[in-house]
Amino acid sequence: ALRFLEDKLRKCKEEPCWQMHLRGLQNAAQPSTLPTLLYAVRKGGKKSVLSALRAIKQVGSEHFNDQVLDALQKVYGQVDRRHDSTARALAAELIFSSTSVRHIERTLELLPRVEAPELATFVASKLLELVDRADSGRSFAGKVLSNSTFGNYYNLAHSGSSATFTKYLTKGEDLNSTYAVNMELIPGGLLKESSLDVNLETSDERLNLISVGLFAGGLDGLAGGDDSGGSGGEEEEATAGMRLSLLGYELRPYVFFVGTSELMSHVWSGTASEPTPALQGNLLIMDHYQFVALLNGLVLELKLQGVISLDMTGSIQISLWNRNSHSVVRTSGATVIQASASLNSDAASSHVQLNVAGDTHLEFVTDLDFYEKPYKMCIQMTQPGVVLRHNIRKYESVTGRKHLVRRLKRRSQNISGKSYAFHKKNCEYCSVLLADV
């Protein structure tokens, strides 16, 4: 299958062909595909280069050699040709996550020379966020920052508003859940690309539960700036859409519009103002069936099943008269876990059943005011209160006797709603935009 994808990729002539096969290689995440992914970086178009870099990221930094890092350095420094700012930022992130101190130092040296303040701010934020995380990147990127030649105000202080950060959803002794937010803006303050990643983390492993990314391009006329990150080149067609990743596997992107005419059609007709489903499905997360022989000769029957139901919808309202927009991405989820233990014999039988159920949703709300510069954007992420229900049923019976016991114990736990914190600049914009609300 890998050889088929690689052969087809090398024969691609059109952008959709590149994108389809690169997504397949990204989901495979095999180190043996790195030469083909580097070929896509050298020969592909702007979107293909970005997809190839995402596939390289999935392979893992532990497989990066000098050939891979040199190719990433060329993308970041635009040595061979001009690249999209998102691709340059991702290339810098991959270099920072590597174990090559030399390449990390070179990337930091080039940072003050980046002609786009938003790109420089985004890359510097990526580095600082990586160092703050308790993983292997601390020992290498942290060493570089500890050297005042590279970790200084000149290299790290920039005037943009782009940001990236990771915060905790829940925190436990053995398992943490985190949310990571990346926001890349174009000059003028309009959002170019953002992503929200929800992860489960242990001390040495990480599992991506779901990732939602919003992207836009060719809207520099609306923002009054250049969304290429100072890379120049041909004018890009107006486009916007959403990327979805579930359990680490990339799904087909959901495209909102392609071209100015399609955008204006959505604005005037209001087709996007109603919640539109982007992802719906049921996932079986637990399925265990086991017999356990006890020391007294009896056999215990154990069953465990768990299901998660997901429903992700999105909507956006745009006012050309007031020059503002309001978008909502809502991820709803419900889970049910059923566990039972049964003990049967000729003399008696006993059965215990446990049910745990709950449902909630996470709202990602973005308000944008592009009436005057600098444009103001407020992002909010909220979760309402959750009621977690526990039901325990117990049955006991004795053969040949009128002995039957049925017990039911119900419990419910209320978990308060919460609003999640973002970076300081976002709080300042929210206080201005929501002052009259």
Question: Mean pLDDT across the stretch 120-149?
Answer: 73
**Residue 228, pLDDT above cutoff 80:** no
Higher local confidence (pLDDT), 138 or 132: 132
Distance CA 239, CA 86 (A): 15
What is the model's pLDDT at position 336? Answer: 92
Q: Distance between CA 88 and CA 82 in Å, rounded?
A: 10
CA distance 369 to 373: 9
Identify the top-confidence range among 292-296, 297-301, 308-312, 339-343. 339-343
Are 299 and 264 in contact by the 8 Å Cβ rule? The answer is: no
What's the mean pLDDT when you consider all of the chain?
81
How far from 309 is each of 147, 304, 335, 387, CA to CA, in Å? 49, 17, 6, 16
When pLDDT is cut at 50, 70 and 90, the band that residue 108 belongs to is: confident
* Residue 327, beta-bridge partner list: 316, 366
Span between the terminal Cα atoms of the chain, in Å: 55
Poorest-pLDDT segment among 140-149, 199-208, 222-231:
222-231
* 105 Cβ contact partners less than 8 Å away, ≥ 6 residues apart: 144, 150
Contacts 24+ apart (CB under 8 A), 73-76: 73/103, 73/106, 73/107, 75/41, 75/49, 76/107, 76/110
pTM of the model: 0.78
> Which pLDDT band holds residue 136 (cuts at 50, 70, 90)?
very low
pLDDT over 90 (residue 289) = yes
What is the rounded average pLDDT of the residues 54-81? 87
Proportion of the chain above pLDDT 90, given as a percent: 7
| CA separation for the pair 129, 119 (Å, rounded) | 15
Q: Hey, which of 31-45, 181-195, 236-250, 271-285 has the most confident mean pLDDT?
A: 31-45
**192: alpha, beta or left, given left = phi > 0 and alpha = psi -120 to 50?**
alpha
pLDDT greater than 50 at residue 311: yes
Mean predicted confidence (pLDDT) in 216-226? 58
